[in-house]
Structure 1
């Protein structure tokens, strides 16, 4: 019996071997869809304003206050994906010397889980695509940072591969630059991973 590659496996294979075309965001996004598939639009509008306020607080170095806002949103609406992505980013700002502050990876995975379409091949909203792009991009940065820790030297290769895979996923929901960076960090691409690290420095 012939084996069939999953969509995920095909994207990774395309990145290793050189894709003809990474799936473009326009094929995935339906601009008529409501922003969040789980949370009513009226609530989303309220949360977007709260998130903007939290980001402003974080920019003014009031990071713990910002974190408190995201905590409250998640307590109020645990199915709201954007808050998990933003809380993860805020935790990384609060603990800049840690490769993966407590809860960051689980928050990013939850944001991804909640933003993925309810059924295969369904299109998603622009907001879902943004959350998926940002969450996968952050996961790539976290895995890369973990790969550089001395205690992870035996897992460095695996973590680099995970980072590359997350960048490919980010490119599906964002732009082709993410796919290009994914190819740079991918050991199979036989390119210098330090180039990727240089490009990623602003994000971790």
Structure 2
């Protein structure tokens, strides 16, 4: 009777395993692949009830509101200029509450107001502004998101979703890192609701927003989605530890 030879097995990856790892570590593999952008669609979803003619008029009005903020020679406009723009956007939103871009631009203006605040002490006003800013981004995303994930979006809709998801992700990640640092001054103007979520929870929320921002076409968000993906980070840590042991001969 001849001896049976048992060859050492080699680790292998299934097609699905390879696809998962590719999605985790390759920023170009998964974001934007599930979104169909159709230039022939109306610029805004039909369920918002805004006709093409109304949209054009709203865009023109919105441009008149925000152009003074962009054309100023200062890095950050004067608070009175920003507040004037916020008030004008308040009025626009009251008249057209389903117009998502107005919420996104009001969030940008609110962020400018926050940047004008005194950084040396906690401010209830700053906490309120940050809460309103995040609320506006959430409303813009809710309004612009297609009713079904399989629905195609217009280029205007895709850009709005890419920008707002990325903006919110950046803020959530920044707050997450402030909480992780534990510096009392760093977290002085963070709303309690965000403190309750905690650093890791906020980073996971930021990672999801970066993923969605990348999915709708923002290239920076695609890269950040990979860097903040908790599974990618975990796998990366495992790989680094395995390489360390290999080098050290453990």
With the shorter chain as reference, the TM-score category is: 0.7 to 0.9
Flag the 1:101–1:177 CA change in 2: closer, same or farther, 3 A: closer
TM-score by length of 1: 0.76
> Per-residue CA shift, 1:111-160, capped at 9, x if unaligned?
11111113341111111111111110111012022211445498112212
Unaligned runs of 5+ in 1: 1-11, 192-204
- The corresponding residue for 1:41 is 52
- The corresponding residue for 1:9 is none
Q: How far apart are the structure 1 equivalents of 2:197 and 2:99?
A: 36
Q: Residue 185 of structure 1: CA displacement?
A: 2.9
Q: How far apart are the structure 1 equivalents of 2:97 and 2:21?
A: 35
Unaligned runs of 5+ in 2: 1-19, 120-125, 188-194, 237-250
Q: Is the 8 A contact 1:22 1:176 kept in 2?
A: no
- Aligned mate of 1:91, from 105, 110, 117: 110
Give secondary structure in 2 for the equivalent of 1:103.
Answer: helix
Please give the root-mean-square deviation of Cα atoms over the aligned residues, in Å.
2.9
Is 1:109 equivalent to 2:152 in the alignment?
no
After the TM superposition, which residues 14-93 of structure 1 pair with which residues of structure 2 at under 5 Å, given as runs?
A: 16=24, 18=26, 21-24=29-32, 27-37=35-45, 38=48, 39-59=50-70, 60=72, 61=77, 62-93=81-112
Larger radius of gyration, structure 1 or 2? 2
- The corresponding residue for 2:211 is 168
Q: How far apart are the structure 1 equivalents of 2:130 and 2:207?
A: 21
Q: How far apart are the structure 2 equivalents of 1:119 and 1:77?
A: 23
Q: How many residues align?
A: 181
Q: Is the 8 A contact 1:15 1:168 kept in 2?
A: no
Q: Residue 31 of structure 1: CA displacement?
A: 0.7
- The corresponding residue for 2:245 is none
- The corresponding residue for 1:182 is 225
